[in-house]
Structure formats: structure tokens, C-alpha cells
Chain A
Amino acid sequence: MVRFENVGLRYGLGPEILRDLSFQIPAHSFQFLTGPSGAGKTSLLRLLFLSLRPTRGLVNLFGQDISLLGKDEIADLRKRIGIVLQDFRLLDHMTTYENVALPFRVMGRDESSYRREVIDLLKWVGLGERMDALPPILSGGEKQRAAIARAVIARPQLLLADEPTGNVDPTLGRRLLRLFIELNKSGTAVIIATHDITLMDQYDARRMVLHQGRLHIYE
């Protein structure tokens, strides 16, 4: 599903922050991406999400060499990827329901075909009472859950999550991990970037460790 070969990344003329990354993410797989702060986890997630281009090497996503793709084709590929960012990126003028339903809206689907699904997921992540609330009045944990719900609602083939349990209590953290596991069981490849050792210890999965720009994989 994802193949990196000798990928390197630098910002401008600065030092290379990711070096010689070569790995594969198989379909239906589950992995944690970890490493110290500043190791390049977020940059690697952005490479996987195609919002950054590598300065060298080959990135192949869903069987396509991304260096050959135009903007429209990249937008089409992104519809197959869900992403949860540390800063949530919810739209403040839209309710929680509307934020979570946004991927379907962008796909041009009729609201009646997904409304039930969005409401069920919001209830499942504990936002059943906050569906009509605007993000500025949500707590950090609620925003995080809304961002996760938006990333998984369209059942992407690849889910990228950057510190998805950073703002929630351990109980809710376990519940969210269960959501990711359920999603993985239904066919989505999942990559969770986290510092949280406790979270990683709760599920036996492949660990990708970034250290000094290089990647070490523990199967």
C-alpha cells in the first residue's frame, strides 16, 4: 500500500531531518510510529499524507509514484487517507456534526445517506450531546475526538494519527484505541504516531521508531 525507498527530507537548505527511509506499510496493517520529540514523526506523517514532497527517494502510494501525480490526482488519493493532527484542525464555524460529516460533503454524497452513520460515530466517541456545539466551546479532549471521528468516518484505506490520545484521560484513550483497532479490523491500515508507551503496550503491533532522522522497525 505504501512503499518508501531511500527517502530523504530537508526543509529549505537546512539539514536532512529524515534520512534514507525505506519501509513498507502493508494493507490492513497496524503500527505505532514513535521516537523522541523533534525526531520527524509529524514530517513523516505529512510525507505519507502527501502534503510534503520528499527531497529525494521514491514514495509509492496505493501503487502510484507520487512524483508523477498532479494536484487533482493527489486530492483523489487523499480521499483514501484519513488524518488526525495534533492541532485538530476543526472548522470553527461548523458544528461538531458538520465537521465530522465534511469528508462526505466534499465527496458530494447526499446527507440522508450518511447522517445516521455520523450521529452513531459521534455517540460512540462520546460526543452525542455535543453534536450541535461549535468547536470553540469544546474542550481539548472533545475536539480531539471530533477530529478522530472526522478522520475515520469515511473508512479510509490508510489512517494517520498524530498523538491521537494526547488530550484524553486513560479510559477514553483506551476507547479511542479500540476504535482504531476496530477500524483496522475492517480493513484500514493504521499508523499512530505517539509518545505514549502505555498506549503502545495495550496493543501488540509493529513499532516504527524514528531516531536522529533514521527509521528502525520492530516487528
Chain B
Amino acid sequence: MDLGTDRPQVPAKARNASPIVPRGSIAGRALVAVVAIMTFLASITTGAVLLISASASEWQSEVASEITIQVKPLGGRDLARDTQAVTDAIRGQPGIVEVQPYSKEQSAQLLEPWLGTGLSLDDLPVPRIIVARVAPGSPLDIVGLRSRVTQVAPNASVDDHRAWVERMRSMTSATVLAGIGILALVIMATIISVSFATRGAMAANRPIVEVLHFVGAGDRYIANRFFRHFLRLGLQGGIIGGGAAMLMFGFSESIASWFSGTPVGDQFAALLGTFSLRASGYLALAGQAVVIAGITAWASRRTLFATLNDID
């Protein structure tokens, strides 16, 4: 084709600067907001589950690593002698690393919040407590220990906190399961929202898809152009939602540390532990944000090909 010989200078501005899929025309902000909210909810759920499960395992290991022996006052028996006999009997047991009998004064201190100061235990039938620390991982013969203790003092009973540990374990498992359930719901809601957003975007951009077909673009080429756009939106939403959740956990951790040492802080710490996510927790939240961005992109790609089949 001869277009003549007059060839003026090439203008500086004539260049491919626009993306094939216009950024503004896709309901981008709405999709970023949806993904950000979903990621935030998922991160809060995961963070809470991680916190609860860490606190519970801390409690469990503390509780499981000690046993408590209670020596009750019984008519005709010397409580102090029985306490000493039980202490000696436990000390000889394999797996026990430390035995601490609570003295009369220490027992009085334990009861002080309820009964006040100046308490004389001689007037009350208060049992004596012996706390024994178990070596971590050692197979303690609790049945043998129980029979030895009752041999030396029939008024003594052994509590290895098994029922408490079992209850806590089942509570933790239920919390984790509930967390996984909420996560699954959040991910499903994300997939559905993203599919609708993709369908809407494709409907709004149908003329672009048709023109791309006219100039010979295949479905894969078109889908890739839209896919990149949705992946970018998903990553933006994931970073915003995941980042907000991380900030919230970091802020809560700071608040907890500000209140540490105060009665409220101590109560809170006793109930929920240190309320701090470890580095691995933050890493899990970051990974989750990336996974949600990936799910966004996957859901949009699936919808893209389904929609492209309808447009020709």
C-alpha cells in the first residue's frame, strides 16, 4: 500500500499508554472494599483462634505439669504430721521434681481475700495443700502415687487436673473448629462476591471484549488482561484488610502491655494469657491475605472464561 512520500515527524505523544482494560470502568473500589473486609474478618478470626489456642496450650501445659494433694483434717489425726508424711511419700516418687507443701501461714494467705486478715486456721477445718511439680514428659504412675498417699494418710486425696485439662482441650478444639467454619464461610462469601463483581465488570466491558474479538484476540488473551486487573484488586484488598487486622492485633498488644501490672491487666492476662501474636502468627495472617488475593483472582478467572463463552 503506497501512502505517499510525505512523512512528517512522528509526534511525541502518539504511544500506547492506555491499558486495554480501563482501570476506572471496573467497579474496582467496591471489589477492593469487599476483599479488604473479607480479609479483615478472616484475619481477625484466624488471629483470635491462634491466640485462644496458644493461651489454652499454655494453661494446659501449666496445669498438666503439676498435681495437687489435699490433706483434710480428720478427727484423731495430726494434720501437720500427715502433711509431712505425704510430702515425704511424694518426694520418693519417680517423675516428681519438686514438692511444695503449703504451710499454715501460706494457707491463711490463700484464704485472705475471702476471710480477711488475722485468721487462725486452728479454729477452722481447713485442708492443707501440697503442690508437686512433674518433670515434663515423664510417665508418672498416678495410680501408684494415689495408693501410696492414701496408705500414709487416708484423709489425703490426689488431683491430677485431668478432667480440667480434658474440658479445656475440648473447648479449644471447639473454638478452633468454629474458627475454621467462620473462615470457610468468609472464603465462600469472598468467592461469591468476586464472581458477581467479575460478571458485572465483564458486562460493563462487553464492548471491549467484542472489539478485542474483532481484532483477533483469543479468549485466553482477553481473560489474561482482565485477570491481571482482578489480581491487582485482590492484592490491594488483601493488603488493606490483612494490614488493618495486623495493626489491630499490634495495637491490642500495646494496650495489654500498658495495663500490665494493674489489677485489670493481671486479670486480663490470667484469662487470655499475654494477648500477643507471635511472629509466626503475623506470618500466618500475611499468608492468609495472599491466599485470599489468590482466591479472588482464581474466582474472577473462572467467571471470566464462563462469561467469555457467552460473548462472541
Which residues of A pack against B, CB within 8 Å? 49, 51, 71-72, 75-76, 78-81, 83, 85, 89-91, 93-95, 97-98, 101-103, 105-107, 111, 115-116, 118-124, 128, 131-132, 150, 152, 155, 179, 182-183, 185-186
8 A Cβ contacts from B116-159 to A:
none
Most A CB within 10 A of own CB, among B207, B208, B218, B221: B218
Q: B13 an interface residue at 8 Å Cβ cutoff?
A: yes
Residue-wise, chain B 1-41 has the 8 Å CB interface mask toward A (1 for contact) of: 11110111011011111101010010000000000000000
Q: Give every chain B residue within 8 A of A78 (Cβ-Cβ).
A: 213-216
By the criterion CB–CB under 8 Å, are B10 and A116 in contact? yes
Most B CB within 10 A of own CB, among A49, A91, A107, A186: A91
The CA-CA distance from A68 to B31 in the complex, in Å, is: 40
Residue of B10, B22, B212, B312 near A119 (CB, 8 A) is B10
By the criterion CB–CB under 8 Å, are A98 and B17 in contact? yes
Known: A75-B219, A107-B216. A182 touches B2 (CB 8 A): yes
Q: A94-B18, A102-B215 are in contact. List 9 more A-B contacts (CB 8 A).
A: A75-B213, A75-B218, A75-B219, A78-B216, A80-B216, A81-B216, A95-B17, A98-B18, A182-B1
Q: Which size bracket describes the interface of B in this complex?
A: 20 to 34
By the criterion CB–CB under 8 Å, are B216 and A101 in contact? no
By the criterion CB–CB under 8 Å, are B3 and A101 in contact? no
Total number of residue pairs linking A and B with CB closer than 8 Å: 98
By the criterion CB–CB under 8 Å, are B218 and A102 in contact? no
Most B CB within 10 A of own CB, among A80, A98, A185: A98
The CA-CA distance from A90 to B10 in the complex, in Å, is: 23
Residue of A93, A123, A128 near B22 (CB, 8 A) is A93
Residue-wise, chain B 78-110 has the 8 Å CB interface mask toward A (1 for contact) of: 000000000000000000000000000000000
In the complex, what's the smallest C-beta–C-beta distance from A189 to chain B, in angstroms?
A: 14
